[in-house]
Structure formats: C-alpha cells, structure tokens
Amino acid sequence: AVEVEELSESVRVIRLAEEDAIANRDFVLRWSTAGEETGYGVLAHRGDDGGFLTLMIRPPAAPADAQVMPREITFILDISGSMIGTPLAIETDLVSRSLDTLRPDDRFNIVYFSSGNAQLFDAPQPRTEENVRTARAFLRNLTGGGGTEMIAGLERALAAEHDPGRLQMYVLLTDGYVAEDREILELVRTRRGAARFFAFGIGSSVNRALIDGVGEHGGGFSQVVLPREGEEGRRRTVETLFDRIDSPVLVDVAIDWNGLPVEDPYPAKLPDLFAGQTIDLVARYTRPARGTIYVEARCGVERFRVPIEVELPEWEEANAALAPIWARWRIEDRMAEWQGATPSRRRGLEEEIVRLATEFRLVSRFTSFVAVDESRVVGDGTPLRVFQPVETPEDVSFEGAVGEVPVGSAVEVPSWGVAFQNTTARRVVVAVVRPQGEAAARGVRTGAVLTAVDGTLVHDLRHLEGLLLQSGGTVRLTFDPGGDVDLPGPGA
C-alpha cells in the first residue's frame, strides 16, 4: 500500500506505507493514460550538468486493422526451482486463461525449461477444444525444479517448426533469475527475425533488466505480474496482452528534430508502439533553442507526420531527474558496445562509463556506492568480510531458488573464493562464490550441492574440513549440478 500526498493539482508525492516497510519485493507504481486523441508532451531541464529533454507520445485508441494476419503464439514457461509454489501457479494460470482468448484461427504451442527443455506439441496446433483440453491437463500436472537453462529453452522455441504465413509471437513467463542476461538479450535481438517477444515477470522481485530487455529487443512489450494482485491482476494481465497484440501498432516511428541542437536520443531506435502504451524518449541538448519537431509513424496503412512546438530553455531547474535518466540510458548503450569491443576500446568505454556514473551519481558495472566508517578502528585495521543476510523475495521458495535451507555458520576456503554451509538436510551447499576466485573461474555456482571430494561422499561441513585436510595437490570436487571440478589443494 502507498500513501499519497497532494501538493497541487498536478503534483503528488507517493510514499510506501509504513506497514509495507519490509524490503522483500519490488515497488511497482501503476497508472494509466487517458484521452482518445494522440497526446504529446515535452519537458526540459538545463543546469550545471547540461541540457536534457524528454518527449512523451501517447497513441490514440484506434480501431482494429481490417486485415489481421493469423497468429502463431508460443508460450515459453520457466519451471525452474525458483518458480516453485506461487510463481508457477500464476504462470500456468496465465497461460490457461490465454487459451480462452486465442482466435479460432490461431495456432499455439507450449515450450518449457528448467535444467532441460521440452515442448507440448511437436508442432503448433490449432485452437480446438481437444487441443485446449490437452494443454490445460498438461499445465495442471506441471511441476517445478532444477536449474534455469533459459538460453536452451529459447533456442528450442526459435528453432521449432513454424508456419511462415503466420505472425510469430513468443510469450516468455519467468522470474528472470539467471546469470546470462546479456547473452539472452543478444539471442532475442539477433534471432527473432520478424517475430515479437512479450515478456512477463512473475513474482515480487523479478529481474527487471532481463524482463524489460526481452520486451524491448523482442519488438513487443514487458509487464510484471505481482502475486499480491491476485485473481483480478491475472485477468487484467491476459486482457492487456491480447488487447495490445489485437490492436493496431504504430510502426516506423521516427523523430525529425528539424535542426534543433538535440544529441544522443534514447532509445536510439524507437520501438513499435502497441495501443495503450507510451513512447518515452530522452535526449540532451547543447544550447537553448526554439522550433518545431515532427513525429512520423505509420498506423496500419496510414502514415502521419505531427508537428510539435518545442522550447529548449537556457536555464530550467525543474525536471532535474531527466539528467540521471539520460545518463543511465547512455551507460546501458556504452555497456552494450563494451560487450563486443576490443581490449583497447573497452578501456576507453570503461573510462566513459565511470565518468558518467560518477558525474550523475549512478551505480554501474564499474562503480558502486561504498560507505567507509573512519571513526573507529577494529582490531589491527584489516578489513573484515561479513556475510550480510537479506530478505528472500516474497512468495519465492528458498528451497526452490537455493536448493535447501542453510543452517549454522559458513566456512570459507579463501584460496578458492568459495564458502560452504550445511543445510537442514545435512548436505553441504555452496553459499558464496567470489567473482574473481578459482571456483568462479571453473564454473562453480551458488546453491550447488557438494556431493563428494576425490570420490568420497561428503556428509557435512565437519566431514568436508577433514577431507580437505587429507587432500593432496589437486582436489576433485563433485557438485550437483555442475559435475566434477578440479581445484588446487587449499594448502597449495
């Protein structure tokens, strides 16, 4: 729940209510746009950090296109361990509801993944009563567990048999708990062709960067489905999906800046626009100016070009948030280039990212907020590493996400950059993996169960410590999942 304070007719201050102060879920603020005519708005800010502007476009409600291509919709379900319980129930319910909304001439299929992947039908099937019954029975019996091999699941969906005469649509449902965000987004961007991806984040604390990125790179849209929204929220989500894909789409959207001193607009390539959405563009400007820009787009077979009067002030203290918003877009753009850059180019990009993040006070891959307490010294002053517990996201199964509930203190092996911990089932799991350590370099992952050392089964942490003391120059550890990993002996 939120508390809303009305400062004026056009200004509201929104705060999280005190009873919702536990930080175990995302704060999501939803609002709707109103009006039947196309709406445009421009805000600007110019201060010591430069000039910035945002252009907002709200499309009008429009009738459906007279000629709608038949569709082929593939639902891609994440059934990994972190989806056990409420998230899995929500995603299967969403797919079941969606089956009722398909057109008679639509075709559909279901692909699902965890540590492996599979699909319901060999090929997409028409929406017949028999096929819908088969799909619903399958969804009722679906259970979660295992890892999250999302890339393999997406590749299976993309490589499956498709009808080229139909508009291909992929609906991804996941919490996004993966480590290969950038690889997944690159796969969606380069392999989708003319298909569209619609991403639904299921849960109270989803990976928004991945969910939103799939919608952006996939030419569709993204949305988060919160467990607290209940039955009404799920109904609204399905309606939103099919209202948008049934509605005309504004495509080939472009901005003619008409000579105004505007630079580095983001997103650099404007997305297609589904009815009910908005386009929010942010850019910087180099000097004060006034003029007319033009928004160009196509809706169905109709093209239009709309003039918008713009004033770029010499000084404007309001709308200061535009500066860090633009900087965040710029950093993401630089990071995308950094991924495929040469070592020498990467150094230059890193310097630019650090400069932007420092100037606009943002967290990035190369910067973070660090508080150093210099008021006292403990011990000899050597930094002490402390494991800091955090809340498990609301409605996420700890056992499903991590494996089992850990108990007691963790034991770290510094030379490997890894810490182990007992679980309630008296097994040993990987509690922490340091990014630059030997274990990380050899693919050891948090949550994996350590089953054996040099072929000897591990019973608990004390037993593990004894086995490591007896080990030689190289130790063979067996993980589930992960298999055998060879590491230098802790004392080597």
Q: What is the pLDDT of residues 168-215, one digit of tens each?
A: 899 999 999 998 998 999 999 999 988 889 999 998 889 998 999 999
Task: Decide if pLDDT at 96 tops 50.
Answer: yes
Average pLDDT for residues 445-449, to the nearest whole number? 83
pLDDT recorded at residue 21: 65
The number of helices, as runs of H, and strands, as runs of E, in the chain is 11, 24
Token pair listed for 319: 């709308």
More confident residue, 29 or 78: 78
Asked if residue 70 has pLDDT above 90, the reply is: no
Q: What are phi and psi of 346, to 5 degrees?
A: -60, -40
466: CB partners within 8 A, 6+ apart: none
CA distance 329 to 327: 5
- When pLDDT is cut at 50, 70 and 90, the band that residue 301 belongs to is low
Whole-number Cα distances in Å, 89 to 102, 125, 140, 144, 492: 21, 24, 9, 10, 49
Give the number of other CB atoms < 10 A from CB of residue 348.
13
Question: d(Cα 266, Cα 334) in Å, to the nearest integer?
Answer: 12
pLDDT in tens, 459-473: 888 899 888 888 778
Q: 141: which DSSP letter? A: T
Three-state secondary structure call for residue 145: coil
Torsional sign, CA 201, 205, 206, 207:
positive
Cα 359 off chain centre by: 26
Q: Percentage of residues in the chain with pLDDT exceeding 70?
A: 90
- pLDDT greater than 80 at residue 65: no
Mean pLDDT of 301-324: 91
pLDDT band at 78 (very low <50, low <70, confident <90, very high): very high
In 10 A of CB 205, how many CB atoms?
21
* Strands, E assignment, 103-247: 107-113, 117-119, 125-126, 167-174, 196-202, 222-225
The least confident of 48-57, 131-140, 261-270, 296-305 is: 296-305
235 against 129, higher pLDDT: 129
Q: Which candidate, 431, 417, 434, 430, places its Cα nearest to that of 478? A: 430
Residue 66 confidence class, pLDDT cut points 50, 70, 90? very low
Using alpha carbons only, give the angle 28, 99, 164 rounded to the nearest 5 degrees.
100
- The token duo for 427 is 């097994």
Mean pLDDT of the chain: 86
Give yes or no for residue 63 having a pLDDT over 50.
no
pTM exceeding 0.85: no
Residue 310: closest CA among 41, 59, 46: 41
Q: Residue with structure tokens 């000097």?
A: 287
Amino acid at 462: R
First to last CA, the chain: 55
Which comes out higher in pLDDT, residue 482 or 475?
475
What confidence tens digit (pLDDT) does each residue in 104-156 have?
A: 888 999 999 998 999 999 999 999 999 999 999 999 999 888 889 999 999 99
Q: Which two tokens stand for residue 305?
A: 């070009």
Structure tokens that stand for 261 in this block: 């001193």
Tokens of 141: 């019996």
Higher pLDDT, 316 or 251: 316
Q: How far apart are CA 382 and CA 153, in angstroms?
A: 46
Which residues make Cβ contacts (< 8 Å) with residue 477, sequence separation at least 6? 444, 450, 452, 453, 484, 485, 486, 487
Query: With 70 as the cut, is the pLDDT of residue 67 above it?
Result: no
pLDDT reported for residue 33: 65
Residue with the larger pLDDT of the pair 480 and 186: 186
Cα-Cα-Cα-Cα dihedral of 347, 350, 351, 355, to 10°?
A: 180
